[in-house]
Amino acid sequence: MLKYESIDELVRAAETRGVRISELVLADQAEAMEVTEMELYEKMEIDFSVMVSAVEAGQKKNQKSMSGLTGGEGYKMKKYAEQRDGGLCGPFMARAISRALAVAGCNASMGRIVAAPTAGSCGILPGCLVSLWEDQGFNQKDIVMSMFTAGAFGMVIAKRASISGAQGGCQAECGSASAMAAAALVELMGGTPRQCADACAIAIANQLGLVCDPVAGLVEIPCIKRNVSGLVIAFSSADLALAGIEAKIPADECLDAMRSVGDALPGALKETAKGGLADTPTGQRLQKQVFGEKK
């Protein structure tokens, strides 16, 4: 049985058995949960269908958050991608950005999402995977299997560092989601288990110190747009790893650094809405707009 205490454990086990990390994890988790591999796969398949539905819901023109602070970002980006040939990022990436915004917007409007690994970072993994499925024609089974790799990396991150903004800042939420997505993307592109680890490490390294400063304490500003940053970092990290560019600092050491940085962050920058963008004049004004003057 796997312990999920290190990325290196996953990589070495997969290399020893000559399988993908997803295959390793599916077998391990099926045994641990005392279900068949097909039963567990089908549960993950449902999660993917929820991701697809969240993209669709978040791309509707009239999508609005409960607070009224955000809404329609996924729709606007989708239209921009159609009208401007994808803009500076190109059509594929523009549509992927739209999907990440859409799922995060769906969450803000109390829609059904998959916390991957959290609600605040819910747009990153589906933004990547749904895009490969819808735009690139990747096989759905391969997409679903890659989610087991993402999930395994997330389990290690949660155990070794954190996936909570309140504990580690947004590096623990969007940073973790980006690392999980990067590993899944590498596997989907035929990369090795070691390259999955490199992509994870690169993604984490590029988001160390990212603070959690939600305006008015809501998972909207700047959270929704940070899902886009995480998505772009996931794609670029995966490409770097697939090109044979090593992380240099091992993934597990990056996670240890993330935990250390998270512990060092002041409380005002860990989901309390007392620092960062939440403490700007506009941030304070928006809080009053939603909740009124403090008594």
Given this model, what pLDDT does residue 293 score? 83
Given this model, what pLDDT does residue 59 score? 98
Instruction: Could you please state the CATH topology (level 3) that the domain comprising 7-291 is classified under.
Output: 2-methylcitrate dehydratase PrpD (1.10.4100)
Given this model, what pLDDT does residue 84 score? 81
Q: Cis before residue 222, ω within 30 degrees of 0?
A: yes
Which residues, 6+ apart, have CB-to-CB distance to 166 below 8 Å? 212, 270, 271, 272
- The C-alpha atoms of residue 275 and residue 272 are separated, in whole angstroms, by 8
The domains of the chain are located at: 7-291
Given this model, what pLDDT does residue 53 score? 98
Tell me, rounded to whole angstroms, the distance of Cα 200 from its chain centroid. Answer: 11
Q: Which residues pair with 270 in a beta bridge?
A: 212
Cα torsion 84, 87, 89, 91 to 10°: value is 0
- The C-alpha atoms of residue 171 and residue 209 are separated, in whole angstroms, by 6
pLDDT tens-digit series, residues 14-23: 999 999 999 9
For the chain, the distance separating the N- and C-terminal CA atoms, rounded to the nearest angstrom, is 54
pLDDT tens-digit series, residues 45-101: 999 999 999 999 999 999 999 999 999 999 999 999 999 888 999 999 999 999 999
Q: Can you give the pTM of this predicted structure?
A: 0.97
Flag residues of the chain having pLDDT under 50.
295
- The C-alpha atoms of residue 197 and residue 203 are separated, in whole angstroms, by 10
Given this model, what pLDDT does residue 25 score? 98
Given this model, what pLDDT does residue 217 score? 97
